[in-house]
Structure formats: C-alpha cells, structure tokens
A and B are shown apart, each in its own frame.
Chain A
Amino acid sequence: MKKFRRILVPVLVLLFLYVPILMLALYSFTDSTQIGAIRSFTFKNYETLFTTDELRSMIVGTLLLALGSAVLATLLGTLGAVGAFYSKKRTSSIMSTVNQIPVINADVVTGFSLCILLVVVFGIPKDTYIPLVIGHVTLCAPFVYLSVIPKLKQMDPALYEAALDLGAKPRTALMKVVIPQILSGMVTGFMLAITLSLDDYFIATYTKPATFDTISTYVVNATKGSQTDIKTALWALSTLIFVLVIVLVLVMNLNSKKREQKEAKA
C-alpha cells in the first residue's frame, strides 16, 4: 500500500502537469477549435503558423529580443560580477544588494517603474524599442551576475597572480585566465537570460511599442479575441515549443552525463 502511494502521488502530479499540454498538442493536429470535439486530422494549424505574417514576425521578434537582451545582459552582468568581486567589500556588497532588487521584485512593479522613468520622465518613445530592451536587460542581467559570482569565488586567486608574475598584462591575464574559469557561469547566465526574456509578459507589456508583440503578449491578447484560426495556430506553436524544450533538456542531460563519466574516468 505504501509503495503504491509512493508511485501514485508523483504520477498524478505528472498527469496534472502534462495532460493539458499533451491534449493541446494532440488537438493541434485536428481541425477542431476546442478540445474534446472529435474532428479529422490536418496540418492546417501548422500551415497557418508558418504562413501568417503576423505570427511569423511575432515569433522572430520574440527570439531576436531574447537573443539581444541576453547578449547585453551577459556582458553587463559578467563585467559587474568581476568588478564587484575585486572591489572593496563595501562596494561589492552595495552592488550585490541592488542587484537583488529586480530578482526579488514583482515583474509588474519593475515594468511599471521603468515605464514611468523612461517613457514618462525621460520621454523616450516606446517605438524606439529602447525601453523594451532596457527592461529585458534589467530583468536578465541580475541573474547573470548571480551565476558568475559563485564561479569567481570558486576560482583559485593564485591563478591570476601567477599569470601576472609570468609577465602577462592585467588585461591579458583577465581574458586568458579569469574568463575561461567563469565561462560556465556566463553560459548558465546567458541561458537563464534567454528563458527569462522568452517567458516575460509584464515588462514587455509596460515598455513595448504598441505595434510589437512578444509570444506572451500576443497569446494573452489572442485568448481574448475571437479569431479561431489564430487561436488554434497557437496550439501548434505551443506543441513546437514543447518538443523543442524536451529536446533541449534531453541534450543537456546527456551532455552532463558524458561530462560526469569523463570526470569519473580521469
């Protein structure tokens, strides 16, 4: 009985988490406009997804925004972490505290306050995309900072000194010694930044140009609308993202397995 419960509970939770996504995936291959109605098989939703300009530009825009903000956030966050790590204790603790603000803060508050500052006070038009990009970098950079700091702490401080003693200029020592040591933290931060930007709704809502939509803002508006072909095309998008995420998770898992095995051998 106890053993049974140990299996039943996790399985029920998995069903709760996955049945909705899988049902949506199943029905994305039919011409049904609601789940539960039995209809015939078709790729129509996928066709709509790839041929409707509005949908295509929304997807491309979301990806470009995520990529751009993640690159900027990784640069800024890494520089900040390195700078803070080698600064006086006071400076670095102030930096770390301020860095926590966007992490802990509700995204609604972050987005709204940035909108007031940039759009209302500074008068930067949202059409320039500047508020949106700043918003997403503000959302992501603190997480890059938090991913890089532990790597700096793990690093052997003698490495940098050794490079200097061996005649390297500080800049070279930084590029050739420090950066390789913290690279894994930077990659983690970059990936986090991408996912945060892709998932964001609130900051985009408060800072984006009226004519631009991310996947989140588009989906939320579409559920209020009555265009059923767009609605079911989004089911197809959901299915594609689901498959992509599963593949990525598998690849990452296999990679870390391989690394573990290599380390075990060495």
Chain B
Amino acid sequence: MKFSRKTLGIPYGVFLTLFVVAPMIVLFYYAFTNGQGVFTLRNLTDFFTDPNTLGTLFYSLAIALTTTVVCLLIAYPVAYILATSKLKAKSVIIMIFVTPMWINFSLRITALKEILTLIEGNLAYYPFLNSVLGMTYDFLPFMILPIYNTIVKLDHSLTEAARDLGANERGAFLKVTVPLSLPGVVSGISMVFLPAMTNYVVLDMLYNSTYIMGSLIGSYFAAYNWHGGSMIALVLLGIICVFTLLTDSGEDDARTGGALL
C-alpha cells in the first residue's frame, strides 16, 4: 500500500472501534437480554420499579449536586481572588492549588479519613457529610482551575468600562465578570458532577455504606450479573449524555486544559 498520511489513522481507528464502540454495543445487548440471550425489558423495568435502585439514583444525585455546589462556592471566590490579584507569582500560586490532583486519590482520601477520624471520633456518625467532604477534597482542584483560567483571560477593560459607565463594584462583578466566566464554571461543573455520581470508592473508604450509582455496578460485577450491571451502566450513560448535551461548550478544551500540562 502506498504511504499516505491518512493511513496513519487506521490503527487508532481500529482501536477505537474495537475497544470504545464495541463495548458500548455489548453493553446495550446485555442490558436488554436475559441469561438465555433472549430480548427482555426486565432489567429496565426492574431498575425503575425497584425502590432500592431508585433510592440509589436519588442518593447519587444528592451527593453529586451537594458536592458540585460546595465545590463551586469554594472554588469561585478562590479562582476570582487569584485571577484578579496583582501578584506576579499568581501562576505559581494556582499551581499550589492544583498540585494535589497529581497525588493518587486513594492516598489523599486516606489522609482525609485519618483527619476526619481524629475530629469526629467515629466516621459512621456523619456519612453524608463525610462523603461530600471526601468528594470535595478529591475534586476541588478540577473546579478551581477552569474558573481561574477563564477569569484570568477576561479582558480587564470590560469591568473598567462598566465602572466608568456608573456600575458599582458589585454591579460590575455580577453583570460583567460572572456571565463572562460562565464557560469556566460549566466545565468545572462537568468535571465534578459526573465523577461525584460514580466514584463509590470515596464512600467506601469513608465507611459510608449507602450505595451510589457506581457502587451498584460494582455490586453487580461482584455477583457476575452482567445483565443487571449493563442496565445500570446504560442508565449512567443516559445521564452522562443528557449532562454533556446541557454543558457542551468548550468541553475538550477544558478537559485537556484541566490537567495543566
């Protein structure tokens, strides 16, 4: 075959087809069949009629929503203060805030767990609070970074113009800075919300035995129940799709930029 730059893409194309597209198809197949390979809607109806699985869905949404709001409330002021500060070394300071994301998350959660045990005595008293704290501890840098990146790139003359035209400081902030920083907020939310719905290890390590969506997949996996597990994965995929469509703006930009490399 004649050498062409296009053919270079073939290996990766094959790889994606085999290990990204095919698993999704298999997931669909397993979700809608039973152990005998016969088509069934049983897994679907089971999920939406079983109070346990529905409870899990709502509990994950509650954890994810709370975590996202807490992260946002902490990250926005920090990102804003850093991005608008006149310090020369602010690029170094922002590095200090995001450095923890390179340390293995299980080790970081171990550290948090020891501290929480010291403070609370017994972790079992506040399972929800601890889980949200754990998720926040884990994901906060992923919220700070994209917000900082958008605010730091904002044209400073816009807020000045607003001030010159008579807006007070609060008005300029609310009407100019906040709307312009929304893309960063959105990509921050998308990097916190979904992991917070599925990262069940944080709950496990902090002794919260309530299930979230991820834990359901884990339990089906442990029981070799591929059909039930596939349905949960499919429901999660649905949520992810809806969420991505809602937040789809500069997604890949934020994701790669999110690693600050």
Give A residues with C-beta under 8 Å from B: 6, 9-10, 13-14, 16-21, 23-24, 27, 34-36, 76-77, 79-84, 86-87, 91, 95, 98-110, 112-117, 120-121, 134, 137-138, 141, 143, 145-147, 169-171, 174, 188, 191-192, 195, 198-199, 201-202, 205-206, 215-216, 219-220, 223-224, 234-235, 237-238, 241-242, 245-246, 248-249, 253
Contact = CB atoms under 8 A, between A and B. Distances in A.
B23 A6 contact: no
Interface in B2-20: 3-13, 15-17, 19-20
A13 B80 CA distance: 13
Contacts of A27: 114
Contacts of A112: 27, 217, 221, 229-230, 233
Given A10-B78, A249-B95, A117 B22 contact: yes
A199 B100 CA distance: 12
A241 B104 contact: yes
A86 B8 CA distance: 9
Q: Which of B92, B113, B229 has the most CB of A within 10 A?
A: B229
B5 A83 contact: yes
Instruction: Determine chain B's interface SS by DSSP, over half rule.
Output: helix
B115 to A, nearest CB: 5
Contacts of B100: 17-18, 21
Contacts of A174: 5
Interface residues of B, number: 81
A13 B217 contact: no
A188 B92 contact: no
B49 to A, nearest CB: 22
Contacts of A246: 99
A29 B18 CA distance: 48
B6 A34 contact: no
The winner among A6, A10, A34 for most chain B CB atoms within 10 A is A10
B81 A10 contact: yes
B198 interface: yes
B151 to A, nearest CB: 14
A216 B106 contact: yes
A86 B105 contact: no
